[in-house]
Amino acid sequence: MWMPFRFTFRTAVLLACLLPPVGAEAAQPVDVALVLAVDVSRSMSPEELQIQRKGYAAAVSSPEVVNAIGMGVHGRIALMMFEWANDSHAREIAGWTIIESKADAEGFAEKILSDTTFGQRRTSISGAIRHATGFLEDVPFQADRRVIDVSGDGPNNQGLPVTEARDAALQSGIVINGLPLMTTGGIGFQFNIPDLDVYYRRCVTGGPASFVLPVVDWEQFPDAVRRKLILEIGGWSPQEPKLVPAQFTFEEPYDCLVGEKIWQRLREQNFWNQ
């Protein structure tokens, strides 16, 4: 026997739950959401800051990086870049952008070059990781992987201990790779440590296939960034001697508060010398 369909308020609510919102679209899938976290602390000279900016622009728009993007499952990545120094400084240079063509990469590089860098006080790698994690949590795309690419020329000396920020990011499924700048120059040379690559490996980086790529001369910088981006886009583990896999175990304890202790020692010396 045929029964008439009764459209009730309950039925309307059920249909509303089953149907997608008007105008809603699925987030665009990308192979990786990659944050470029760039150190602009005053320990680097203005000339070095400019080399750094040009190096990132050249690497992002290089044919090798564009080809690596095209080889991914989705053939596209999401990329953004910000500068960091002290715990509160996170200045966005280029917001989240889909890169899937040469034109996209060149457009991103133009944004990098069109901005001006101004050095800031202190070095808070923990702040950089915290800000980068926030950017990744708000990424408007569906990313297969989420990666923080952090570069810097000294250890953490302000904000939370770097290991706390690192561990929180790793627990969220984020990978952190490091580009320690083991160069000389700038006004903050007294904060440099000779084993910055080890510091990055033991205290900063982590996650599946994470790695550290040291830079010991500024002439190496553009090529190092290009190689690093190719590895991060492809999700490959480093195989070359210069690329040090992160997070070895069974090693002697490492003091991840070395930067904070240097800062405190210098403050005490200045106090007694006044």
pLDDT tens digit sequence for 193-236 = 899 999 999 999 999 999 999 999 889 899 999 999 999 998 87
Distance CA 235, CA 247 (A): 17
Give the pLDDT score at 260: 86
Q: Does residue 244 lie in a domain region?
A: yes
pLDDT of residue 188: 59
Number of domains in the chain: 1
- Count other Cβ atoms within 10 Å, centred on residue 23: 5
**234 located within any domain:** yes
Domain of 107, CATH number, reads 3.40.50.410
Q: Is residue 266 part of a domain?
A: yes
- What pLDDT, on a 0 to 100 scale, did the predictor assign at position 67? 96
Bridge partners (DSSP) listed for residue 78: 33, 98
Whole-number mean pLDDT of the chain? 85
pLDDT at 109: 97
pLDDT of residue 161: 96
- pLDDT for 223: 94
pLDDT of residue 241: 45
Whether residue 149 lies inside any domain: the answer is yes
Residues of the chain under the 70 pLDDT cut? 1-26, 119, 184-190, 237-250, 270-274
Give the dihedral sign, CA 114/120/124/126: negative
> CA-based angle 220:183:46, to the nearest 5?
90
Tell me whether residue 21 is in a domain: no
Residues 6+ apart with CB under 8 A from 72: 31, 32, 233, 234
Whole-number pLDDT of residue 24: 36
State residue 236's pLDDT score: 73
Q: What is the CA radius of gyration of the chain?
A: 22
Residue 8 lies in a domain: no
Q: How far is CA 146 from CA 78, 81, 99, 164, 269, in A?
A: 10, 14, 15, 19, 42
Question: Would residue 2 count as lying in a domain?
Answer: no
Query: Per the domain annotation, does 121 fall within a domain?
Result: yes
Q: Which domain holds residue 124?
A: 27-273
Residue 118 is predicted with a pLDDT of 75
Given a contact cutoff of 8 angstroms between Cβ atoms, the answer to whether 65 and 232 are in contact is no
